[in-house]
Amino acid sequence: MSLIPTPDTIPTSWGYFQFFLLLTFPLHLLLMNSLLGSSFIAVYAHIKGDRQARALAYELAKVLPLLIALTVNLGVAPLLFLQVLYGQFIYASSVLMGLFWILIIPTLIIAYYATYWYDFKFASLGRAGILVLGFACLCFLVIGFMFSNNMTMMLHPENWSGYFDNSSGTLLNTGDATLWPRYLHFMIGGTAVGGLFVALYGRFLTRREQQLGDYASAIGMKVFRMLTIVQIGIGIWFLLALPKAQMLLFMGGNGLATSCFLAALLLIAMVLVAAFRSKVYATAGLLAGLIYLMAFMRDFVRGGYLRDHFSPGMLEVVPEYSPLVLFLGTLVIGLLLIAWMVRAAFTRCVD
C-alpha cells in the first residue's frame, strides 16, 4: 500500500506554479543568506570590540530585524508554490517531523525578538550583546537544519513507514547521506553571501562615513572569498553524496540539467575572479545569476528523486483563472511596496 496521499487538483497549468516557485525561491535565498551572514559578522565585529568593529556591529544591528521580516515574507511564496506542486510529499514529511516543524515558529519569534533587543539595547547590553545575537544565530542554524530535514524527507516516501514505529512527530532524516552536505551547503554558502551583503551595505555606509563603509566592505568581501572557496568543497561533497541516478543528471543524463551545471561552474569561476578583484557590484550581479542556476539544479534533483512516484505534469487541472489573476495583481503591487519599504529603510539606516 502506498503511503503517498492523492494530490489535490490545481486551478491552472502546473507550469505557472513552477515558474513562480523558481522565481521566488532564489529571492528568498538571497535575503536568508544576507540575514545569516550579517548576523555572524555582527557577532564577530562585536567580539573584536575595537571602535571600528563596534560601529559596524551597531550598523548591522539596525538592519537585522528588517532582514528577518523580508526573509520570512519572501519565504511564504515559494513554500506555497511547493505545496501546490508537491503537497502530498511536503505535507506528509511535515507530519513525520511535526513537533520539530511546529517548533520552527516559536524559534523564529525568539530569534526575531533577540535581534530587536540587540538593536534597541545595543549600547546598554555591552558585551552581553554577543550572547544575545549569538543565541539568535543559533536559532537560525536550528531552523535551517529543520528545513533541510523536511526538504530531504519529502524525497524519500519509501522511508515514511518509520511513522509506524514513531508516531510522535519526532522523526528526522539523519540517515540520509545528503542531509549534512546539503545543510552545510546552505549554511556556509549563506554566510558567504551574507558577507557580500555586508560589503554592499558598506558601499551605502560610505555616503555617511567613508572609513566605516570601507571597513565593512573589506570584511564582507574577505568573508565572501574565504567561505566561497570552502563552499566549493562542500558542493563537491554534496554532488558525490547524491544517488548515482541524480548525480548523472548533471553528467549528460539530462541535457538541460547538464547545461545548468556547466553554466554554474563557469559562473563560479567568474564570481571568484570578480571577488578577488574586489569588484563588489560585479560579484553581486554574477552571484545572483549563480543562485538562480543553483535553484534550477535543485529542482532537477527533486524531480529525479520523485520521478518513480510523481511529476507535476500528473496533476489534474480544474480550470479557475481568477485566483491567478488576483495573485498576479497582488504580486505586482506587493513588489512595488516592498521596493519602496526597502529603499526607505536603507535610507534611514545610512542617514
pLDDT per residue as tens, the chain (351 positions)? 578 888 889 988 999 999 999 999 999 999 999 999 999 999 999 999 889 999 999 999 999 999 999 999 889 989 999 999 999 999 999 999 999 999 999 999 999 999 999 999 999 998 999 999 999 999 999 999 999 999 999 999 988 988 888 889 899 999 899 999 999 999 999 999 999 999 999 998 888 889 999 999 999 999 999 999 999 999 999 999 999 999 999 999 999 999 999 999 999 999 999 999 999 999 999 999 999 999 999 999 999 999 999 999 999 999 888 887 888 888 788 878 878 877 776 666 555
Judge contact between 143 and 102, C-beta under 8 A: no
Distance CA(270)–CA(349), nearest Å, equals 31
- The one-letter amino acid code at 311 reads S
Using a 10 angstrom Cβ sphere, with 0-12 exposed, 13-18 middle and 19 or more buried, the burial of residue 94 is middle
Strand, helix or coil at 278?
A: coil
Q: What is the CA radius of gyration of the chain?
A: 21
User: Which pTM was predicted?
Assistant: 0.91
pLDDT of residue 200: 94
pLDDT value for 23: 93
DSSP three-state, residue 169: coil
**Which residues, in sequence order, are bridge partners of residue 10?**
317
Helical H runs in the chain?
14-48, 51-96, 98-120, 122-125, 128-153, 179-205, 210-241, 244-247, 255-276, 280-306, 322-350
Identify the pLDDT of residue 243: 94
Task: Label residue 26 exposed, middle or buried (CB < 10 Å: 0-12, 13-18, 19+).
Answer: buried
Q: Residue 344's pLDDT is what? A: 78
pLDDT of residue 1: 52
Domain 14-307+334-350 has CATH 2.40.30.10: no
Q: What is the CB neighbour count within 10 angstroms for residue 123?
A: 8
